[in-house]
Structure 1
Amino acid sequence: MAVDPWFQNWHPPAGLVNTPPFNPFLSSFESKKTYQNKSSIHDLKHLSARGPDNILPYLLTLSLVKHRPRYERYDRKPLEISGPFKTWYHWNVLDFDYTLDERAEAIAFEEFIPENNLPLGVEIYKDRIFISMPKWKPGVPVTLAVLPRIPREASPKLKPYPNWKWHKHDTCDGIVSVFRVQADSCGRLWVLDSGLVEVTIEPKQICPPKVLVFDLNTDKLIYKYVFPPEFIKQDSLYSNILVDIRGNKCENAHVYLADVWRFGLVVFSWEKKRAWRVTDHLFFPDPLAARYTLHDLEFDWTDGIFGLALSPYDTNKDDRLLYFHPMSSFREFYVKTSVICNETGWMDVKNAFKVMGQSRGPSGHVSTSAVDRNGIMFFNMVTRDTVGCWDTRKPYKRQNLGIVDQNPETLLFPNDLKIDQDHRQSVWVISNGLPYYLYRGLDTNKINFRVMSAYVDEAINGTICDPNISYPSVFIEHSGDDCY
């Protein structure tokens, strides 16, 4: 395929990705100027000389102040530190919140086979961490669990979310097999249930895929969307989910769901309670990127569209970009969300799906990616034991792709990645050595799974991803239509 020259020097389309000016990140104590206002301090000193009637209004005002939780106040030391990443949880094998008798019974009936359980997806919302465990193999009793954000122990037993009953249904009313979840800014947890079990043996679609929406304030189900038959192709596997909310318009949400094995994208409108399936040839795997090498292990995957990430919302254009890539590919692609959110018109837009700049190069396989509110993309390079980054203001060229951390032990196959919603954002990663689990089995005598995080400002500090760092060769001027 001929490659146009602009592919080599891609930058975000002019006028669409207008990310806000990059502000210096605040420390955990934020603005110290608050404590340097001498006149305010002087006024407070005289409060003690006043009567209760005069002091009461000040006390009432203080009681109404809503304090943002500061999780870093807790003096819990990380288990490991690698670059900017701190490991908060790790496991040799997973265990669940059974009673002793229940656990023994589950093992006896092979409802729980410890070495068959593998954590895949991670999500963070306020003081909780959510972990998904698809049913790759038999003996996986729980497919979605929750942990406290502040660790109390290094390798805790996982608590089923929202409770055990949801995981013990013999019908499709329960939660069957979850690959990934996402919490939105409106306090909802979107759960993508593939309905597919025993993927590594002989995949069985025992229930249709569905999306379950839980209220995170009550942990009650508020909506369920079951995929219609026309969305379920032979060997479909819905494995990734991304929620698109602009501002605080919670009722106008769109959800993007990737079919990694049959190369499609389902778009669900929360307002309309409808969905449609979008297809494009860029969703397909690249046959030249289907061979993987992870240390001493070689394997072939032909996985299509998988990674999904959103650019910051442009209020002037009322639009944003959906970045995407197949798992078996070395390239990144994008489409305007205004195109795919048009149920009947997306097919009429010519060349709507576009290729970005340069290839990431050999072994440039990326699983998941996410963009922070300042327009910095983070991504997992699974066969390089690496978390990378890219400032979306800069051309998508290899010299503009930074390395946040590379570690063959702690980042052995970094599988999922999320950015939390905190004021000072963090990037969270779960590593799980997935190919070893699939093809050789895990060594239960060593640590196999890790949940870790890094503050975004610390992760990009000094890298090419830092918007405060620019090199003369980085920025290339284009007219507004050069990228189309």
Structure 2
Amino acid sequence: MSPFFAAIFLLGLCVANAVNFTTVYEWDKFDFVWPSGPESSIGQMKQNFNPLEVEIRFLAAYEGRLFLSLDDTSPGIPATLVWLPTSGSATASPKLAPFPTWEFHKKDNCNSIQVANGMETDPDGRLWVVDQGNSKCPSKIWIFDLVNNDTTERVHQFPDKVFSHSYSKGWLHDIVLDKTPDDYLAYITDAMSENIVVYSRKTDKSWTVKTPGRKWYSLALSANREARQLYLGRFKSKEMYSVSVSELKKEDGSAAVKLIGEWTGNPYRMLFDSANVLYAASSYKDYLSKSNISEPFREQRLHEVGDLESGRPFTFALDTNGTLWMTERNETEDWSKARHKLLKAAVGAGSYLFGTPTDLPLRG
């Protein structure tokens, strides 16, 4: 095939696989829903807050709300776990509201969330949040009951043998959930060790599974429940691997991983839908990719924008109605003029946990 026709062919693929995103909100600068009252710490938080330093890391969706985790590298970020409504009557874009309340975001208070990273919602109305912790507070999983007034259902602190309490020796990044007949298992990446961290809600116990020679950063869980696979990406690597979840249930065991293929970029975020389509966003790439894992690996572009000048331009989540929600960060050449958008598109499939919209249970 000549270069000219090859280019036309690839362009056709991009157009054929594109979806139509609509803009829900836009922000020149973020702001928080600040608490009222004379408490001095509130005034200090507002004084330290720099809206230009807000960067969205992860996104999760459940029944009219979006949950976001924010980059913690700036001391001016007062809360790393916030939420937004998916719709509203106000003309202005909404402010970031701390989740569940400001009381859960006290710095260096180990009964509070220190650094929220990966998140996931489950079909029973829970929000699972990975808390990296900090030099004073150990890492945890927080599980919130969204159906029961956002109450805290459980907080699991990782034992030192599972995840080092030395802050510089571990980096908990992302989480997926595996719903079994009698349990929920969480699989979590630690980008600084050659392990996958596993947690069982039923037993409230965590363990590691070794993957010698490889450290993992991004992950996604397939929708095929009979032969479910965990897909894995390494930090600053185009390679994608998979491992059977059956190997992850062996406490303190090891697992063999299989190379699946290579993306055109280095994915920092991946997500499966219920049709076994895998979505991926890569560092410094101004497009979203997808691949149908039911077929031989082939990357296709789902959404493409102009030059965003952002290391993490997108993050995304699927809701129960087959809507793909996505944030977009545009830093342009002038970082001080960074803009954010919230977009949505109908893709006709729910997340790997929820199934297709027609299969979803209705809440009474």
Instruction: Give the TM interval when normalised to the shorter protein.
Output: 0.7 to 0.9
2:263 is matched with 360
1:239 paired with 2:176, answer: no
Partner residue, 1:228:
159
1:213 match: 143
Residue 90 (1) aligns with residue 20 (2): no
Whole-angstrom CA distance in 1 between matches of 2:224 and 2:199: 19
The reply on whether 1:306 has 2:217 as its aligned counterpart is yes
Q: Using a 3 Å threshold, how does the CA distance of structure 1 residues 161 and 109 change in structure 2: closer, same or farther? A: closer
Residue 376 and residue 411 in structure 1: after superposition, are their counterparts in 2 closer, same or farther (change >3 A)?
Answer: farther
Q: Output the aligned Cα RMSD.
A: 2.8
Distance 2:217 2:85 in 1: 28
Cα offset, 1:268, TM superposition:
0.5
CA distance in 2, matches of 1:88, 1:393: 32
**Residue type matched to 1:373 in 2?**
S
Residue 315 of structure 2 aligns with an amino acid whose one-letter code is D
Alpha-carbon spacing, 1:335–1:154, altered in 2? closer, same or farther (3 Å): farther
Distance 1:154 1:368, change over 3 A: farther
The residue correspondences of 1:77-476 to structure 2 (distance < 5 A) are: 84-98=20-34, 106=43, 110-151=47-88, 152-168=90-106, 170-196=108-134, 205-217=135-147, 218-230=149-161, 231-232=163-164, 234-246=168-180, 249=181, 251-281=182-212, 283-284=214-215, 305-314=216-225, 317=226, 319-344=227-252, 346-347=253-254, 352-356=256-260, 358-361=261-264, 364-396=265-297, 400-408=298-306, 412=310, 413-422=312-321, 425-432=322-329, 442-443=335-336, 445-447=337-339, 449-457=340-348
Gaps of 5+ in 2: 1-17, 350-364
Task: For residue 219 of structure 1, report the CA deviation from its aligned partner.
Answer: 0.3
CA distance in 2, matches of 1:229, 1:153: 48
Over 3 Å counting, the alpha-carbon distance change for 1:150 and 1:411 in structure 2 is: farther
Matched position secondary structure for 1:253:
strand
SS in 1 for 2:52: helix
Cα displacement string for residues 225-279 of structure 1 (whole angstroms, at most 9, x for unaligned residues)? 0112221164311121111114xx4x41100111123343210011121111123
Number of matched pairs: 325
User: What is the TM-score of this pair, normalised by structure 2?
Assistant: 0.81
Structure with more of its chain in strand, by fraction: 2
Give yes or no for contact 1:178–1:194 (8 Å, CA) kept in 2. Answer: yes
Q: CA deviation at 1:360?
A: 2.5
Which is worse superposed, 107-116 or 135-144? Answer: 107-116
Conservation of the 8 A alpha-carbon contact between 2:52 and 2:338: no
Alpha-carbon distance in 2 for matches of 1:103, 1:410: 39
Q: Matched residue of 2:335: which SS?
A: coil
On the 8 A contact 1:416/1:429 being kept in 2, the answer is yes
Deviation at 1:93, TM superposition (A): 2.5
- Higher share in helix: 1
Pair 1:276–1:99, CA change in 2 (3 A): closer
Q: Deviations over 1:406-455 (max 9, x none)?
A: 10257953342222222xx122222336xx69xx9831x351x2222221
For 2:223, give the aligned amino acid: P
Whole-Å Cα distance in 2 between the matches of residues 307 and 278 of structure 1?
A: 16
Partner amino acid for 2:209?
V
Change (3 A) 1:179 1:153: farther
Greater displacement, 382-391 / 114-123: 114-123
**Cα offset, 1:109, TM superposition:** 7.2
Distance 1:134 1:374 in 2: 31
Task: Give the partner amino acid of 2:20.
Answer: P
CA deviation after TM superposition for structure 1 residue 215, in Å: 0.3
How far does the alpha carbon of each residue in 1:168-209 deviate from its partner, in whole angstroms, 9 at most, with x for none?
A: 36520011111221111111110111113xxxxxxxx23111
| Alpha-carbon distance between aligned partners in 1 of 2:193 and 2:251, rounded to the nearest angstrom | 20
Shift of 1:106: 3.0
Map of 1:76 onto structure 2? none
Cα distance change of structure 1 residues 274 and 446 upon mapping to structure 2, 3 Å threshold: closer
Could you tell me whether the CA contact under 8 Å between 2:197 and 2:206 is conserved in 1?
Answer: yes
Structure-2 separation of matches of 1:185 and 1:175: 23
Indicate conservation of the 8 Å contact 1:283/1:325, yes or no: no
The DSSP-based 3-state class of the residue aligned with 2:23 is strand
- Work out the percentage of aligned pairs sharing the same amino acid: 25
| Contiguous gaps of at least 5 residues in structure 1 | 1-81, 197-204, 285-304, 459-484
TM-score, normalization by structure 1 = 0.62
**Contact residue 113 and residue 138 of structure 1 kept, 8 A:** no
1:167–1:176 Cα contact (<8 Å) kept: yes
Q: What is the letter of the counterpart of residue 281 of structure 2?
A: N
**In structure 1, distance between residues paired with 2:233 and 2:116:** 21
Structure number with larger C-alpha Rg = 1
Higher relative contact order (CA 8 A, sep 6+): 1
8 A Cα contact 2:26 2:93, kept in partner: yes
